[in-house]
C-alpha cells in the first residue's frame, strides 16, 4: 500500500482544495484535484458531465481514474470529489492510493461557505441547507469507512488542519 500519497476527502466546502494547496507547498509534493483531472480528460465541467452524460457515467469515470492513480508510482496529494467515497469500490481504491484524511464539517458550515456559489448545482434548489444535511447523512458512513484519519475542521484554521495531518504523516 502506497502511504506516500495523501488523499483528502470530505463534503464540498470542507476545505479539501485549500488544505491540499497548503500541504503541497509545505511537503513540496504536487496536489491534484480528481474532479479537475476528469474535466481535463472530458473537455468539459463536472456539471456538464452530470447534465449531458449522467451521474453514473461520471462515477464510472471517477472509478477508472482512481484505479489508474492507485497503480501509478507518482507521489501526490489528491483532493477527491465529495461523492467519491460513496461507491464501495472507490473506498477500496482510496485506501490503496494513500493515507485517506476525512475533513469532517457541519452542514451549517458548508452552507455558510458556499451559499453565494452558483457553480454548485446542489445549492440551486429551494432548500440548499436541507439538501446538504440529507447528502451528508447519506455519505457519513462511506466517508468514515474510507478514512484513515478523521479531522473535525469546523473550528480549525488551515494551519491547524495542516499541522494535524503533518503530525500523522511524520509520525508514520
Q: What is the mean pLDDT of residues 144-159?
A: 95
Cell (9 digits) for 150: 478523521
pLDDT of 2 over the 60 cut: no
Q: Are 32 and 77 in contact (CB under 8 A)?
A: yes
pLDDT of 1 over the 90 cut: no
Per-residue pLDDT at 37: 97
User: How far is 112 from 91, CA to CA, in rounded Å?
Assistant: 28
User: How far is 5 from 112, CA to CA, in rounded Å?
Assistant: 30
Q: How confident is the model at residue 105 (pLDDT cuts 50, 70, 90)?
A: very high
Q: How confident is the model at residue 87 (pLDDT cuts 50, 70, 90)?
A: very high
Q: How confident is the model at residue 169 (pLDDT cuts 50, 70, 90)?
A: confident
Q: Which domains does the chain have, with CATH numbers?
A: 6-170 (3.40.50.300)
Q: What is the mean pLDDT of residues 102-129?
A: 86
Other Cβ atoms less than 10 A from the Cβ of 20: the count is 24
User: How far is 77 from 102, CA to CA, in rounded Å?
Assistant: 13
Per-residue pLDDT at 121: 67
Please give the mean pLDDT across all residues of the chain: 91
Tens-place pLDDT, residues 14-61: 999 999 999 999 999 999 999 999 999 999 998 899 889 998 999 999
- To the question of pTM greater than 0.85 for the whole model, the response is yes
Amino acid at each position: 500500500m502506497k502511504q506516500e500519497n495523501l488523499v483528502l476527502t470530505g463534503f464540498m466546502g470542507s476545505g479539501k482544495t485549500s488544505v491540499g494547496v497548503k500541504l503541497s507547498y509545505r511537503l513540496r509534493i504536487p496536489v491534484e484535484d480528481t474532479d479537475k483531472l476528469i474535466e481535463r480528460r472530458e473537455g468539459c465541467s463536472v456539471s456538464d458531465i452530470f447534465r449531458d452524460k449522467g451521474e453514473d457515467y461520471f462515477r464510472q469515470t471517477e472509478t477508472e481514474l482512481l484505479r489508474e492513480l492507485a497503480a501509478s508510482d507518482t507521489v501526490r496529494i489528491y483532493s477527491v470529489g465529495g461523492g467519491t467515497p460513496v461507491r464501495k469500490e472507490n473506498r477500496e481504491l482510496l485506501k490503496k492510493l494513500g493515507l485517506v484524511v476525512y475533513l469532517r464539517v457541519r452542514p451549517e458550515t458548508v452552507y455558510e461557505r458556499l451559499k453565494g456559489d452558483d457553480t454548485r448545482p446542489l445549492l440551486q434548489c429551494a432548500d440548499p441547507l436541507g439538501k446538504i444535511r440529507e447528502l451528508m447523512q447519506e455519505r457519513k458512513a462511506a466517508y468514515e469507512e474510507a478514512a484513515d484519519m478523521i479531522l473535525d475542521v469546523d473550528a480549525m484554521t488551515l494551519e491547524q488542519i495542516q499541522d494535524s495531518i503533518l503530525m500523522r504523516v511524520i509520525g508514520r
